[in-house]
Protein backbone atom coordinates (compact mmCIF):
# COMPACT_ATOMS: atom_id res chain seq x y z
CA UNK A 1 0.00 0.00 0.00
CA UNK A 2 0.94 3.66 -0.35
CA UNK A 3 1.42 3.96 3.40
CA UNK A 4 3.90 1.08 3.51
CA UNK A 5 5.83 2.62 0.65
CA UNK A 6 6.09 5.95 2.44
CA UNK A 7 7.20 4.10 5.58
CA UNK A 8 9.93 2.30 3.60
CA UNK A 9 11.16 5.60 2.15
CA UNK A 10 11.12 7.19 5.58
CA UNK A 11 13.26 4.35 6.94
CA UNK A 12 15.64 4.75 4.02
CA UNK A 13 16.02 8.47 4.80
CA UNK A 14 16.48 7.92 8.53
CA UNK A 15 19.03 5.24 7.71
CA UNK A 16 21.06 7.52 5.50
CA UNK A 17 20.94 10.35 8.02
CA UNK A 18 21.81 8.12 10.96
CA UNK A 19 24.57 6.44 8.98
CA UNK A 20 26.18 9.79 8.12
CA UNK A 21 26.00 11.04 11.69
CA UNK A 22 27.21 7.72 13.09
CA UNK A 23 30.17 7.65 10.72
CA UNK A 24 31.37 11.14 11.70
CA UNK A 25 30.74 10.47 15.37
CA UNK A 26 32.70 7.27 15.19
CA UNK A 27 35.74 9.22 14.03
CA UNK A 28 35.36 11.71 16.86
CA UNK A 29 34.91 8.90 19.36
CA UNK A 30 38.07 7.22 18.17
CA UNK A 31 39.83 10.46 19.03
CA UNK A 32 38.29 10.67 22.49
CA UNK A 33 39.08 7.02 23.11
CA UNK A 34 42.68 7.34 21.97
CA UNK A 35 43.49 10.52 23.88
CA UNK A 36 41.90 9.31 27.12
CA UNK A 37 43.96 6.12 26.84
CA UNK A 38 47.09 8.24 26.36
CA UNK A 39 46.18 10.40 29.36
CA UNK A 40 45.59 7.36 31.52
CA UNK A 41 49.08 6.14 30.72
CA UNK A 42 50.59 9.45 31.77
CA UNK A 43 49.02 9.73 35.22
CA UNK A 44 49.10 7.58 38.32
CA UNK A 45 46.07 5.65 39.51
CA UNK A 46 45.87 7.62 42.76
CA UNK A 47 45.80 10.94 40.86
CA UNK A 48 42.47 12.69 41.61
CA UNK A 49 41.58 12.99 37.91
CA UNK A 50 42.40 9.36 37.07
CA UNK A 51 38.88 8.08 37.83
CA UNK A 52 37.32 11.01 35.94
CA UNK A 53 39.29 10.25 32.80
CA UNK A 54 38.51 6.58 33.18
CA UNK A 55 34.83 7.47 33.25
CA UNK A 56 35.21 9.55 30.06
CA UNK A 57 36.88 6.55 28.48
CA UNK A 58 34.04 4.24 29.55
CA UNK A 59 31.46 6.63 28.09
CA UNK A 60 33.38 6.87 24.82
CA UNK A 61 33.43 3.08 24.53
CA UNK A 62 29.70 2.91 25.18
CA UNK A 63 29.03 5.62 22.61
CA UNK A 64 31.17 3.76 20.10
CA UNK A 65 29.04 0.66 20.61
CA UNK A 66 25.92 2.74 19.89
CA UNK A 67 27.37 4.18 16.70
CA UNK A 68 28.38 0.68 15.62
CA UNK A 69 24.73 -0.37 15.97
CA UNK A 70 23.66 2.67 13.98
CA UNK A 71 26.13 1.86 11.23
CA UNK A 72 24.71 -1.66 11.10
CA UNK A 73 21.24 -0.18 10.72
CA UNK A 74 22.29 2.16 7.95
CA UNK A 75 24.07 -0.68 6.18
CA UNK A 76 27.44 0.99 6.01
CA UNK A 77 29.22 -2.18 7.11
CA UNK A 78 30.45 -4.64 4.50
CA UNK A 79 28.99 -8.14 4.87
CA UNK A 80 30.74 -11.47 4.77
CA UNK A 81 28.29 -13.58 2.77
CA UNK A 82 28.19 -17.36 3.04
CA UNK A 83 25.65 -20.01 2.12
CA UNK A 84 24.03 -21.25 5.31
CA UNK A 85 21.39 -23.66 6.52
CA UNK A 86 19.41 -21.41 8.85
CA UNK A 87 18.09 -24.42 10.75
CA UNK A 88 21.64 -25.25 11.81
CA UNK A 89 22.31 -21.63 12.76
CA UNK A 90 19.22 -21.71 15.00
CA UNK A 91 20.07 -25.08 16.54
CA UNK A 92 23.54 -23.85 17.39
CA UNK A 93 22.08 -20.82 19.16
CA UNK A 94 19.51 -22.65 21.31
CA UNK A 95 21.70 -23.07 24.38
CA UNK A 96 22.75 -19.43 24.36
CA UNK A 97 19.17 -18.25 23.74
CA UNK A 98 17.89 -20.33 26.64
CA UNK A 99 20.39 -18.67 28.93
CA UNK A 100 19.30 -15.30 27.59
CA UNK A 101 15.56 -15.75 28.20
CA UNK A 102 15.72 -17.26 31.67
CA UNK A 103 13.71 -20.03 33.23
CA UNK A 104 10.14 -18.77 33.15
CA UNK A 105 10.08 -18.62 29.34
CA UNK A 106 10.10 -21.77 27.25
CA UNK A 107 11.73 -21.81 23.84
CA UNK A 108 10.34 -24.11 21.16
CA UNK A 109 11.36 -24.64 17.55
CA UNK A 110 9.60 -25.89 14.44
CA UNK A 111 12.29 -26.20 11.82
CA UNK A 112 11.11 -27.73 8.57
CA UNK A 113 13.05 -30.48 6.87
CA UNK A 114 14.64 -29.50 3.59
CA UNK A 115 14.85 -25.79 4.30
CA UNK A 116 16.33 -24.04 1.29
CA UNK A 117 19.82 -22.66 1.82
CA UNK A 118 20.26 -18.92 1.96
CA UNK A 119 23.23 -16.64 1.46
CA UNK A 120 23.88 -14.51 4.53
CA UNK A 121 26.42 -12.91 6.75
CA UNK A 122 26.18 -15.53 9.55
CA UNK A 123 27.15 -13.11 12.32
CA UNK A 124 24.52 -10.64 11.18
CA UNK A 125 21.78 -13.25 10.99
CA UNK A 126 22.62 -14.43 14.50
CA UNK A 127 22.25 -10.81 15.60
CA UNK A 128 18.79 -10.69 13.97
CA UNK A 129 17.66 -13.84 15.78
CA UNK A 130 19.10 -12.67 19.07
CA UNK A 131 17.49 -9.22 18.90
CA UNK A 132 14.08 -10.73 18.07
CA UNK A 133 14.36 -13.21 20.93
CA UNK A 134 15.45 -10.52 23.41
CA UNK A 135 12.40 -8.45 22.45
CA UNK A 136 10.15 -11.48 22.82
CA UNK A 137 11.62 -12.08 26.26
CA UNK A 138 11.12 -8.46 27.30
CA UNK A 139 7.49 -8.70 26.18
CA UNK A 140 6.87 -11.56 28.63
CA UNK A 141 7.84 -10.39 32.12
CA UNK A 142 5.46 -12.98 33.61
CA UNK A 143 6.82 -15.79 31.44
CA UNK A 144 5.44 -17.42 28.35
CA UNK A 145 6.53 -19.16 25.18
CA UNK A 146 8.76 -18.29 22.26
CA UNK A 147 8.40 -20.26 19.05
CA UNK A 148 11.11 -20.04 16.41
CA UNK A 149 10.15 -21.59 13.10
CA UNK A 150 11.38 -21.83 9.53
CA UNK A 151 9.60 -22.33 6.25
CA UNK A 152 10.18 -22.37 2.50
CA UNK A 153 7.98 -19.99 0.60
CA UNK A 154 7.49 -19.11 -3.04
CA UNK A 155 6.49 -15.49 -3.60
CA UNK A 156 4.52 -14.65 -6.72
CA UNK A 157 3.07 -11.49 -8.25
CA UNK A 158 -0.14 -11.55 -6.23
CA UNK A 159 1.82 -11.24 -3.00
CA UNK A 160 3.41 -7.95 -4.09
CA UNK A 161 0.01 -6.28 -3.87
CA UNK A 162 -0.19 -6.80 -0.11
CA UNK A 163 3.53 -6.47 0.55
CA UNK A 164 5.29 -3.86 -1.62
CA UNK A 165 8.66 -4.64 -0.05
CA UNK A 166 8.45 -8.27 -1.23
CA UNK A 167 10.02 -9.65 -4.40
CA UNK A 168 9.09 -12.62 -6.55
CA UNK A 169 11.04 -15.85 -6.15
CA UNK A 170 11.99 -18.44 -3.56
CA UNK A 171 12.43 -17.26 -0.02
CA UNK A 172 12.88 -18.76 3.39
CA UNK A 173 10.87 -17.40 6.26
CA UNK A 174 12.16 -17.22 9.82
CA UNK A 175 9.50 -16.48 12.35
CA UNK A 176 9.80 -15.59 16.02
CA UNK A 177 6.52 -15.74 17.87
CA UNK A 178 5.84 -14.78 21.46
CA UNK A 179 2.89 -14.89 23.82
CA UNK A 180 3.73 -11.50 25.30
CA UNK A 181 2.14 -8.10 25.77
CA UNK A 182 1.75 -7.32 22.07
CA UNK A 183 1.66 -3.87 20.50
CA UNK A 184 -0.99 -1.39 19.45
CA UNK A 185 -1.09 0.13 15.95
CA UNK A 186 0.55 3.33 17.11
CA UNK A 187 3.58 1.50 18.50
CA UNK A 188 3.81 -0.79 15.47
CA UNK A 189 4.26 2.22 13.19
CA UNK A 190 7.53 3.22 14.82
CA UNK A 191 9.24 0.03 15.97
CA UNK A 192 11.90 -0.01 13.24
CA UNK A 193 12.97 3.58 13.81
CA UNK A 194 16.28 4.00 15.59
CA UNK A 195 15.92 5.10 19.22
CA UNK A 196 12.22 4.29 19.37
CA UNK A 197 11.65 2.36 22.58
CA UNK A 198 8.86 1.83 25.08
CA UNK A 199 11.25 0.25 27.58
CA UNK A 200 12.76 1.89 30.64
CA UNK A 201 15.80 4.05 29.95
CA UNK A 202 18.88 1.92 30.44
CA UNK A 203 17.01 -1.23 29.40
CA UNK A 204 15.98 -0.26 25.89
CA UNK A 205 18.12 1.64 23.40
CA UNK A 206 15.58 1.48 20.61
CA UNK A 207 18.25 0.13 18.28
CA UNK A 208 17.47 -3.60 18.28
CA UNK A 209 14.83 -3.61 15.58
CA UNK A 210 16.46 -0.90 13.49
CA UNK A 211 19.55 -3.11 13.35
CA UNK A 212 17.35 -6.07 12.40
CA UNK A 213 15.71 -3.96 9.69
CA UNK A 214 19.05 -2.80 8.26
CA UNK A 215 20.50 -6.31 8.17
CA UNK A 216 17.43 -7.84 6.55
CA UNK A 217 17.26 -5.05 3.94
CA UNK A 218 20.91 -5.57 3.14
CA UNK A 219 20.15 -9.25 2.55
CA UNK A 220 17.44 -8.22 0.04
CA UNK A 221 14.76 -9.46 2.40
CA UNK A 222 11.88 -7.91 4.28
CA UNK A 223 10.08 -8.20 7.62
CA UNK A 224 6.43 -8.61 8.51
CA UNK A 225 4.98 -8.09 11.97
CA UNK A 226 1.70 -9.30 13.35
CA UNK A 227 0.77 -8.24 16.84
CA UNK A 228 -2.25 -8.29 19.07
CA UNK A 229 -2.35 -6.27 22.25
CA UNK A 230 -2.33 -8.60 25.24
CA UNK A 231 -1.88 -11.71 23.10
CA UNK A 232 1.51 -11.68 21.49
CA UNK A 233 3.62 -10.83 18.50
CA UNK A 234 5.05 -12.62 15.50
CA UNK A 235 7.99 -11.31 13.52
CA UNK A 236 8.55 -12.89 10.11
CA UNK A 237 11.85 -12.36 8.36
CA UNK A 238 12.04 -13.27 4.66
CA UNK A 239 15.41 -14.00 3.12
CA UNK A 240 16.13 -14.99 -0.49
CA UNK A 241 16.83 -18.70 -0.96
CA UNK A 242 19.76 -19.62 -3.15
CA UNK A 243 19.30 -22.08 -6.00
CA UNK A 244 19.26 -25.59 -4.59
CA UNK A 245 22.68 -27.14 -4.34
CA UNK A 246 24.23 -29.08 -1.47
CA UNK A 247 26.41 -27.06 0.88
CA UNK A 248 29.83 -28.70 0.79
CA UNK A 249 31.73 -26.66 3.30
CA UNK A 250 30.02 -27.51 6.59
CA UNK A 251 32.63 -25.40 8.39
CA UNK A 252 31.29 -22.23 6.83
CA UNK A 253 27.76 -22.87 8.01
CA UNK A 254 27.94 -21.05 11.29
CA UNK A 255 30.19 -18.76 13.20
CA UNK A 256 29.04 -18.23 16.72
CA UNK A 257 32.24 -16.41 17.68
CA UNK A 258 30.93 -13.48 15.68
CA UNK A 259 28.92 -12.22 18.54
CA UNK A 260 29.87 -11.53 22.09
CA UNK A 261 26.78 -10.17 23.77
P1 LIG B 1 14.39 -1.78 22.43
O2 LIG B 1 14.24 -3.26 22.58
O3 LIG B 1 15.70 -1.30 22.93
O4 LIG B 1 13.25 -0.99 22.97
P5 LIG B 1 13.85 -2.29 19.65
O6 LIG B 1 14.16 -1.48 18.43
O7 LIG B 1 14.36 -3.68 19.66
O8 LIG B 1 14.42 -1.46 20.86
O9 LIG B 1 12.28 -2.33 19.90
C10 LIG B 1 11.53 -1.14 19.82
C11 LIG B 1 10.20 -1.31 20.52
O12 LIG B 1 9.38 -2.21 19.80
C13 LIG B 1 10.25 -1.88 21.92
O14 LIG B 1 10.57 -0.90 22.88
C15 LIG B 1 8.84 -2.41 22.08
O16 LIG B 1 7.93 -1.37 22.39
C17 LIG B 1 8.50 -2.88 20.69
N18 LIG B 1 8.66 -4.34 20.53
C19 LIG B 1 9.63 -4.96 19.85
N20 LIG B 1 9.48 -6.30 19.88
C21 LIG B 1 8.36 -6.53 20.61
C22 LIG B 1 7.66 -7.73 20.99
N23 LIG B 1 8.08 -8.95 20.64
N24 LIG B 1 6.53 -7.57 21.74
C25 LIG B 1 6.09 -6.35 22.08
N26 LIG B 1 6.70 -5.20 21.75
C27 LIG B 1 7.84 -5.28 21.01
Q: What local confidence, expressed as pLDDT, does residue 186 receive?
A: 94
- By C-alpha distance, which of 150, 153, 151 is closest to 171? 153
Question: From CA 198, how far away is CA 182, in angstroms rounded?
Answer: 12
**Is pLDDT at 117 greater than 90 in this prediction?**
yes
Q: Give this prediction's pTM.
A: 0.77
pLDDT in tens, 191-236: 998 889 999 877 777 888 988 998 898 899 999 999 999 999 999 9
Residue range 239-245: average pLDDT? 78
pLDDT in tens, 139-187: 999 999 999 999 999 999 999 888 888 999 999 999 999 999 999 999 9
**Most informative mutation of 209, 216, 231 for ligand 1 (most atoms within 8 A of CB):** 209
Q: Is 23:71 a contact under the CB 8 Å cutoff?
A: yes
Q: What is the ipTM of this complex?
A: 0.99
**Most informative mutation of 191, 227, 228, 230 for ligand 1 (most atoms within 8 A of CB):** 191
- Nearest atom, ligand 1, residue 206 CA: 8
The residue whose CA is least distant from atom 18 of ligand 1 is 135
Residue 184, sorted as left (phi over 0), alpha (psi -120 to 50) or beta, turns out to be: beta
- Sheet bearing 232-240, strands edge to edge: 105-111, 144-155, 169-178, 232-240, 222-228
Q: Is 192:12 a contact under the CB 8 Å cutoff?
A: no
- At 93 the three-state DSSP class reads helix
DSSP 116-169: PPEEE-HHHHHHHHHHHHHHHHHT-TT-EEEEEEEEEEEE-HHHHHH-TT--SE
Provide the percentage of residues in the chain whose pLDDT is more than 90.
62
* Helix (H) / strand (E) containing 110: strand 105-111
Question: From CA 197, how far away is CA 131, in angstroms rounded?
Answer: 13
Amino acid sequence: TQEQLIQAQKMEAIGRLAGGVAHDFNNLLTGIQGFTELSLMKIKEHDPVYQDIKEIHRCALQAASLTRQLLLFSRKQPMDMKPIDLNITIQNMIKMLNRLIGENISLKTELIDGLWPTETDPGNIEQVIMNLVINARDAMPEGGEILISTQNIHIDESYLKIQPEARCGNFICLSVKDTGIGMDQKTLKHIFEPFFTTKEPGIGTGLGLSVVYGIVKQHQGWIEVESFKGQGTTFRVYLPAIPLKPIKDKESLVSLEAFKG
